[in-house]
Each structure stands twice: as structure tokens, then as C-alpha cells.
């Protein structure tokens, strides 16, 4: 079973630091993530998505669109990540089936205001004590929802394509 974890931060700088730490934890296998990204909202309300693959072309752009689509689905902002076209439809359908309910979406929407950021992770496995210790210094508001095995499989297929 995977967990969708969204950690909201009151500013972009804290979100960027927490995102860098989450990448380190992932690289060191303290957290095994199938999706990781940082979404920031500028003071003028525009969203930006950053993923470990970077903002460049190719795979990085695709991952940015996937994380953007995931976050767009949670926030009901379909234009984030729309560059993937049909793949976004599959992801959105997978999110609906994944049991991400309106209450979870509402809580994420409430935490995202101009000037804020959110770390998004789909976590497969984690070493809890090390991860909590590493991430606790950043504060933030943690929202978590567990994905059923079927929902996890549907989300994986939407994220990575069918095996």
C-alpha cells in the first residue's frame, strides 16, 4: 500500500529546502517514492512544478506534467500538466478511483495560497524514524491518505504506463 503525502509550507523557501531533503532521503533509500515533486504558488497565484528530473525537456518535462497533473487533480486545476494530453485523462481517472476524497482535496486547496508551497510524495516504503527526524525541522502541515492496492495499481499505471 502506498501513501499520498502532501506537506504544505507557508513560504516557497521552506518548501524548496524540504524538497531537497526529500530527494536526499529518496536517494539514500530512506524513502522509496514513486512520485515526488514541489508545487509552488507565486504571489500572483501562478503554480510552478519542480521534480527531481529538473525543469528541462524530455523525461523531466513529463514528470513535471505528471506531478502537475496529480496536483491539478487534487486542486481541480486541470491546466496544470495538461501538456501530456491523453495521459492526463488516465491519471485523472486513476485519481478519482484512488479514493482521494473531497475532504482531502479541500484541505490541500486551503493550504495553497499565494506565496506558499507543497511537497507531494507518493511513498511506497519508508524508514519512519529517520524520515520523520529529517523532515521535522521544516515544519509544515502534513496531509496523508492511504491508497488501496487497487487504487495504487491504477495510479501506477497512470504514472508509468501499463506494465
Q: Which of 65, 23, 26 is nearest to 48 (CA)?
A: 65
Whether pLDDT at 136 is above 80? yes
Confidence of residue 139 (pLDDT cuts 50, 70, 90): very high
pLDDT value of position 59: 43
- Separation of alpha carbons 18 and 140, rounded Å: 9
pLDDT value, residue 88: 40
Give backbone dihedrals phi and psi of 89, rounded to 5 degrees, phi first: -60, -40
Higher-confidence residue of 107 and 21: namely 21
**Grid cell locating 35:** 512520485
Lowest-pLDDT range of 17-26, 34-43, 148-157: 148-157
Q: Is the pLDDT of residue 135 over 80?
A: yes
Residue with cell 512544478: 49
Residues 6+ apart with CB under 8 A from 13: none
pLDDT, position 51: 78
Amino acid at each position: 500500500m502506498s501513501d499520498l503525502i502532501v506537506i504544505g509550507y507557508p513560504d516557497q523557501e521552506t518548501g524548496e529546502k524540504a524538497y531537497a531533503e526529500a530527494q536526499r532521503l529518496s536517494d539514500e533509500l530512506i524513502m522509496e517514492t514513486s512520485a515526488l515533486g514541489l508545487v509552488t504558488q507565486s504571489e500572483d497565484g501562478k503554480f510552478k512544478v519542480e521534480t527531481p528530473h529538473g525543469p528541462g525537456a524530455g523525461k523531466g518535462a513529463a514528470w513535471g506534467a505528471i506531478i502537475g497533473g496529480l496536483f491539478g487533480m487534487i486542486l481541480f486545476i486541470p491546466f496544470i500538466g495538461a501538456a501530456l494530453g491523453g495521459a492526463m485523462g488516465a491519471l485523472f481517472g486513476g485519481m478519482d478511483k484512488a479514493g482521494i476524497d473531497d475532504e482531502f482535496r479541500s484541505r490541500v486547496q486551503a493550504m495553497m495560497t499565494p506565496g506558499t508551497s507543497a511537497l507531494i510524495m507518493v511513498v511506497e516504503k519508508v524508514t519512519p524514524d529517520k524520515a520523520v527526524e529529517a523532515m521535522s525541522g521544516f515544519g509544515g502541515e502534513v496531509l496523508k491518505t492511504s491508497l488501496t492496492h487497487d487504487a495504487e495499481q491504477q495510479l501506477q499505471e497512470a504514472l508509468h504506463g501499463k506494465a
